[in-house]
A and B are shown apart, each in its own frame.
Chain A
Amino acid sequence: MQATLTIKLARVAIVIAIFALWEMLSRTGVVNPRLLPSASDTLATLGDLLQRSSVRTDLLVTATEVLAAFALAVPMGALIGFLIAENRYFADVAKPLLFFAFSIPKSIFLPMFILVFGVGFAQKVGFGFFSTIFIVIMSTTTAVESVKVEHLTVARSYGATRAQTAFRVYLPSMLPVLLEALRISMIFNLTGVILAEMYASRDGIGHQIATWGENFQMKQLLAGVVMVAAIAMTFNELIRWVETRCSHWRT
C-alpha cells in the first residue's frame, strides 16, 4: 500500500493533534491532571523509567516470556495447521472444532493456568502459548489452502520431488498469508502474556503496569502504556514492511 506524501502528513498531523489535545486537557484542568497527567510529563516519566534497572528487568522478563511463547506456539501451530490442511478427512473433522475453540475468550482459562503452573515463568509462557496457537493453526490452514492446484500440477509435470514441491511451491505460495499470521499471532501472544502478568505475577512489565494502576501512579501507568504500545507497533510494522515487499505474490 503506497501512501502519498499528503496522506502521510495527515497521519502525522493526527498523531500530533492527539498528543496536543491530551496535553491541553491536562494543562488547562478540563480533565483532572491527577487522573490524566499531561503528555509531556508522561513522556518525561517514560524517559526516567527506561533509565531504571528494575523497569528494564521487567521488560526483559516480559520479552523472554513473549518470545518463548511465540517460539513454541508458531512452529507447533504451523505443523498442526499443515497436517490438518493436508488431510481432507482430518480437516473436515477438526475445522469446526477449531472455530469453536477460537471463539472462546482465552482469559477465562487464566485461573486454571495459575492452578496448574503456579505463578511464574511457566504460567505466563503457557498462557501466551494457549492464547496464540489457535490463530496460528487457523492461519496455517488458510495458507495451505491458498496454494493453487495449477501450480502443484506444473511442479508435478516437470518432475518435482516432494521436497522441491514443499520449498519451491508451498512455501512461497504460503509466505504472504504466513507473514500476516505471524503478525496477528504476535498481537494475541503479547496480549496473553501481559494479561497473565497483570493478573498474577511477581515481575514483568504487565505486573508493573498493574501495580502502578493500583497505587494510583498515573504518570508511570501512562508511560507504561505508551511503552508497550510502541513495542507492539514496532514489531507489527516490521512484519508489515516485509509483507508489502511480497504483496504481488498474491496475484
Chain B
Amino acid sequence: MQPLANVTPLKPPPRAGAIEVRNVGQVFRTRSQDVVALEDVSLDIKPGRFVVLVGPSGCGKSTLLMMMAGLRAQTAGTITINGAPIPQPDPDRVGVVFQEASLFPWLTAEDNVEFPLALRGVAKPERRAKAQDALKLVGLEGFGKRHPHELSGGMKQRVSIARGLVQDPPVLLMDEPFAALDEQTRMTMGDELLRIWAATGKTVVFVTHSLTEAVYLADEVIVMSPRPGRIVDQLQVSLPRPRTYEMLSGDAFGALRDRIWRHIRKSA
C-alpha cells in the first residue's frame, strides 16, 4: 500500500531519514540564572524507525524535537539529518506535526494541507492533487472542504498529519500530537498513525507523556529525565507488528512500561 506513490516530490528525497544527535546541550539564560534544559544528549536514529521520546515535564523532550526541526538552536553539540545539519527549518527533510490547535481556522482542511506547498509557490492544480492524496492517506477523503471547527479532534489531528506529509519529507517529527484527544480517539489515532507510517516508511520521532502510547507505537523508546534534561534509558521494543490492543495486557508490554515508569518516578 503506497498511497503517496503517485505524488512526485519537488526534489526526490530518500523515503526515510537518518537523524544523528551528538553531545547536544541547551542552556536557557534568564536574568537570575542559567537553566540547563538539555545536557550531553546523543542519539542515533536509523532510517524508517519509529522512535518515541518520553519523560516528565521539563525533561527537554519537546526542546530536543524543536531542535531536530530547525526551529530552535542548541547551545552545544550537533544535530544532522541525512548527514547535514539543520540550522533552520527545512521542509524538504522534515515535516512537523503539532497539537491540534495548530491548524489555521480560516482555511479549509485541504487549504491547511496545501499550506506548505503554497508557501513554495506550487501551482494550484498540483497542490490540490497532492493535498487530496495526503487527505486520502490519513482517511479523510471527502472532508477537504470542511473548516477545522467542523471537524472532530481526531479528524483535525489527521489533517495536521496530512499537512506534515504533503511534501513527502523523509522525517516526520510529532510534538505530543494526541495530547488533547480523549482516550478512545487517542488509541484509534495511534493505530492510524502506525498504518500511515507502515505505508510511507518515514522516520518518525514522536514526543508523548503517555507511557502506554510510547510502548504501543515505538520501535525504540528514549526515556529522559529533567533538570538537566538527559537520556536515562533507551529501550528496544521488540513486540511484533502490527501492534494490537491485546498486547497492552501482555507481560512483555507490562515489563517495558514498568521499566519506563521506574525511571520517571525516580526523577519526578
Contact = CB atoms under 8 A, between A and B. Distances in A.
B106 A150 contact: no
B147 A248 contact: yes
A158 B120 CA distance: 9
Contacts of A54: none
Contacts, number: 58
Given A150-B99, A164-B119, A156 B89 contact: yes
Interface residues of A, number: 23
Nearest to A164: B119
Main secondary structure of the interface of A (DSSP, over half): helix
Given A158-B91, A248-B147, A251-B149, A153 B102 contact: yes
Nearest to A251: B149
Contacts of A148: 101
Contact of A246 (B71, B88, B106): B106
A21 B118 CA distance: 59
B205 interface: no
Contacts of A155: 119
B90 interface: yes
Contacts of A251: 105, 148-149
A148 B106 CA distance: 13
Interface string B88-101: 11110010101101
A45 to B, nearest CB: 47
A242 to B, nearest CB: 14
A161 B91 CA distance: 13
Contacts of B106: 172-173, 175, 246, 249
Interface in A224-251: 246, 248-251
B-side interface size class = 20 to 34
Contacts of A154: 96, 98, 102, 104, 115
B91 A153 contact: no
A160 B119 contact: yes
A159 interface: yes
Contacts of A202: none
A157 B96 contact: yes
Nearest to A151: B104
A18 B77 CA distance: 76
Interface in B131-150: 147-149
A87 B167 CA distance: 34
Given A151-B102, A251-B148, A251-B149, A159 B119 contact: yes
A159 B118 CA distance: 11
Contacts of A175: 106
B201 interface: no
B37 interface: no
Given A150-B98, A154-B98, A248-B149, A172 B104 contact: yes
Contacts of A169: 104
Nearest to A165: B119
Contacts of A246: 106
A159 B149 contact: no
B69 interface: yes
A250 B120 CA distance: 27
B190 interface: no
A2 B104 CA distance: 24
A37 to B, nearest CB: 50
Interface in B42-100: 69-71, 88-91, 94, 96, 98-99
Given A158-B89, A164-B119, A172-B104, A153 B147 contact: no
B105 A250 contact: yes
25 contacts: A150-B98, A150-B102, A151-B102, A151-B104, A154-B96, A154-B98, A154-B115, A156-B89, A157-B70, A158-B91, A158-B115, A158-B116, A159-B90, A159-B91, A159-B120, A160-B119, A161-B119, A164-B119, A168-B115, A168-B118, A172-B104, A175-B106, A249-B106, A251-B148, A251-B149
Closest 4 CB pairs of A and B: A158-B116, A157-B96, A249-B106, A172-B106
